[in-house]
């Protein structure tokens, strides 16, 4: 007997019926295949190991229609909503998943191609075929990736030519307008950093209103031989936003990719980040912080795969939970057979600021090679009472002392961000987001 789709899946199937043909046979076929997989498997349940700590029962009973691109193109957006210090280069803005040319500036200089997905498909479809034609195969665990592949009508393609140094950060902005309640939007992002090239990308999630919306973003990133990519992610969505992102970063020989992430907003947020080291001497570093309050739920799934010799990875993540919030962190390091000389480290430390808050952390280590250096660790604790007492004995009020200690705890994950102006701004946002005083017992 065929299972009855949940209201969530049923709404996605209904939305797909309104999506026009792209006119590209392979793309339409990929959409149909992913939609069929979503219909067959549905949303993951708690017995699915990778979703064990993020129950979706309530979400499965929600129905989201597809956001209207025509409406999104008419929504007034003040640039102050997404302006960031130290980020004044090329910019691509999406409102409810629709590319807004009037808010964007795509000229990033010689050697840089920055185009909305629709333009890339119309002019050079073959270079993006592999990523867009991919069909995910983990069933329910990939439900949101299936949904994105079936329903994403827009996105961004960024290509950096070999040996190009991009002087200013490229700014990718996702705006949830709040003007289209109970709607979903989906965006695909493709980034290709050519051999020996260097670029910084800032991905930014903001909201204009409090209306309930669902957003999914799937990113495929390739860092070619000897190239360098810096990716900073700021997620500051509204309390009504559900956001699911998946990013896959593939690093070739002697390439370097560094990710910094700050998670502040949203009601239900999941970030799946995979770093795959496929060339000898490749490096992937990641730094992240989530700071939660009220009833927020943020789930970070990090996986680093060492598939070549003499590769390096370093992951340092911090979590803070206050109120009745819940944070989840899974950090996995996999060293494949033949990846000798790999050096991997993972650290996850967390603070509980409320008796009702919860953090679940799960470090994993799989090694199938010889001559490997690997370490991982995770902790969950509370603010040190002796440090609090010391600060208060110096005349610092309790609320300020708590904020100072919490900020110091988080700074380790942000201090390596090279853009000083952006780094300071993220620190200020973090301070503003921290609890102003002790939580109720």
pTM across the whole model: 0.93
The mean pLDDT value for 196-202 works out to: 98
- State the Cα torsion 206-210-215-217 to the nearest 10°: 10
Give the largest Cα separation in the chain, rounded: 70
How far is residue 36 CA from its own chain's centroid? 25
pLDDT tens, position by position, 252-262: 999 999 999 99
Average pLDDT over residues 162-183: 96
Q: What is the mean pLDDT of residues 14-33?
A: 90
Q: What is the pLDDT, as a whole number, of residue 22? A: 87
The predicted-structure confidence for 85-114, as pLDDT tens digits, reads as follows 999 999 999 999 999 999 999 999 999 999
User: What pLDDT, in 10s, does the model give residues 289-342?
Assistant: 999 999 999 999 999 999 999 999 999 999 999 999 999 999 999 999 999 999
> Where does the pLDDT of residue 378 fall: very low under 50, low under 70, confident under 90, or very high at 90 and above?
confident
Question: What pLDDT is recorded for position 78?
Answer: 95
Model confidence at 395, pLDDT cuts 50, 70, 90, reads confident
Per-residue pLDDT, averaged over 355-384, amounts to 88
247: tokens are 């990013």
| DSSP annotation of 139 | G
Residues 6+ apart with CB under 8 A from 284: 249, 251, 256, 257, 258, 259, 275, 276, 277, 304, 311, 312, 313
Residue 3 has pLDDT above 70, yes or no: no
pLDDT of 73 higher than 70: yes
pLDDT exceeds 70 at position 388:
no
């Amino acid at each position: 007997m065929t299972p009855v789709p949940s209201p969530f899946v049923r709404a996605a199937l209904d939305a797909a019926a309104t999506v026009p043909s792209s006119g590209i046979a392979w793309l339409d076929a990929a959409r149909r295949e992913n939609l069929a997989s979503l219909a067959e498997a549905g949303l993951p349940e708690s017995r699915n190991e990778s979703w064990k700590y993020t129950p979706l029962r309530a979400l499965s009973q929600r129905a989201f229609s597809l956001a209207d691109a025509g409406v999104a193109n008419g929504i007034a957006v003040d640039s102050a909503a997404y302006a960031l210090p130290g980020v004044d280069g090329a910019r691509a803005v999406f409102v409810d998943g629709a590319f807004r040319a009037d808010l964007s500036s795509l000229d990033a200089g010689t050697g840089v191609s920055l185009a909305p997905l629709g333009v890339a498909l119309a002019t050079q479809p073959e270079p993006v075929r592999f990523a867009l034609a991919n069909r995910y195969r983990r069933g329910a665990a990939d439900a949101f990736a299936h949904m994105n592949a079936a329903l994403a009508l827009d996105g961004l393609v960024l290509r950096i030519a070999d040996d190009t140094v991009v002087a200013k950060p490229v700014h990718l902005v996702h705006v949830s307008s709040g003007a289209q309640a109970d709607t979903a939007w989906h965006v695909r992002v493709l980034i290709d950093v050519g051999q020996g090239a260097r670029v910084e990308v800032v991905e930014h999630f903001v909201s204009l209103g409090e209306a309930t919306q669902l957003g999914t973003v799937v990113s495929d990133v390739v860092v070619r031989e000897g190239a360098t990519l810096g990716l900073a992610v700021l997620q500051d969505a509204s309390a009504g936003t559900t956001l699911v992102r998946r990013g896959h970063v593939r690093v070739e020989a002697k390439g370097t990719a560094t990710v910094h992430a700050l998670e502040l907003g949203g009601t239900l947020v999941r970030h799946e980040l995979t770093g795959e080291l496929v060339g000898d001497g490749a490096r992937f570093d990641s730094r992240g912080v989530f700071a939660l309050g009220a009833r927020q739920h943020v789930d970070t799934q990090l996986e680093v795969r060492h598939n070549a010799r003499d590769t390096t990875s370093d992951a340092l993540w911090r979590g803070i939970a206050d109120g009745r919030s819940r944070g989840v962190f899974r950090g996995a390091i996999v060293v494949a057979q033949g990846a000798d000389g790999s050096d991997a480290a993972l650290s996850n430390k967390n603070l509980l600021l409320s008796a009702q808050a919860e953090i679940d952390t799960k470090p994993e280590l799989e090694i199938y090679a010889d001559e490997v250096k690997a370490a991982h660790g995770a902790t969950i604790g509370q603010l040190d009472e002796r440090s609090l007492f010391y600060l208060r004995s110096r005349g610092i009020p309790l609320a300020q002392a708590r904020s100072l200690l919490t900020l110091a705890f988080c700074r380790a994950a942000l201090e390596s961000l090279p853009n000083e102006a952006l780094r300071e701004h993220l620190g200020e946002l973090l301070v503003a987001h921290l609890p102003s005083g002790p939580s109720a017992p």
